Amino acid sequence: MPGWLELREGLALAAKRAYRRGIQTGSGGNVSARIPGRELMLVKASGSSFEDSSVDGFVVADFDGKLVEGAGKPTREALLHGYLYRICPWMGAVVHAHSPYAIAWAATGKALPLTTWHAKLKLPAEIPALNVPSPMVRTEDFPLVKAIYDATPDLPAFLLVDHGVVAGAADAVNAEHTAELVEETAKIAYLKAVAAKLGL
Ligand SMILES: [Zn+2]
C-alpha cells in the first residue's frame, strides 16, 4: 500500500474530475499535494493521463522537482509546484490544466475579470495572467510568480499565457474546483466580449 493514501486518493479524484469536465485532455496537466511537515510533495508522474489516475500514479519529489521515491519521472512542471509550496504556506495542493477558455483569455494579456456573482463570492481578486516565455515555469520566471502572491497572498489561481491555469487550495479536490471555476469564468468573459462585439 503506498504511503499518504488519503492525499493520493484526493489527487486521483481531482485529476479524473478535471478530465471528465474537459479542462484537461490527453496526458497534459498535472496535480500535486504537499506532504505535511516535509519539504516534499506527491506529484503526477510524467506522461500519464488524468483520466487513468490511480493512487499509484504519483511519485514523491522534493520542492526542486527531483524524484525522491516512486516509479516514474515527476512532471517537468513540478518545479513550479514546489516553488508555490515554498512561498504559500497555506497551499496544500496544486492543480494545473490546459483549459481552453482560460488559455484563450490569457492571450489578451489581461487579468481575468470576475464575470459572475459566483466568481466574485469565491475568488478574492481578478485572476492575473503571466507571460512566461517558456513551455514551463523556470527558476528565472519565479519573480513573476512571487509578485502576484506578494500582491494577493491568498490568490487561488493564475493564468499562464498560451499555456493554462494553475490553481492552489488546501487540498486537491478544492484546487480542481477552483480550476473549473476559472475556466467557467473565462468562458463567460469570452462570451460577454463576443456578445458586446456583435452589439447584442
Ligand atoms: Zn502545462
Per residue in 165-178, pLDDT tens?
Answer: 999 999 999 999 99
CATH topology of domain 5-197: L-fuculose-1-phosphate Aldolase (3.40.225)
CA of 75 to the centre of ligand 1 (A): 9
CA of 180 to the centre of ligand 1 (A): 15
Please say if the pLDDT value at position 158 is more than 90.
Answer: yes
CA of 196 to the centre of ligand 1 (A): 31
Please say if the pLDDT value at position 27 is more than 70.
Answer: yes
Q: How many percent of the chain have pLDDT more than 90?
A: 94
Q: What is the pLDDT of residue 58?
A: 95
Farthest CA pair distance, the chain? 59
CA of 199 to the centre of ligand 1 (A): 35
CA of 84 to the centre of ligand 1 (A): 15
Please say if the pLDDT value at position 1 is more than 90.
Answer: no
What pTM was estimated for this model as a whole? 0.96
CA of 161 to the centre of ligand 1 (A): 11
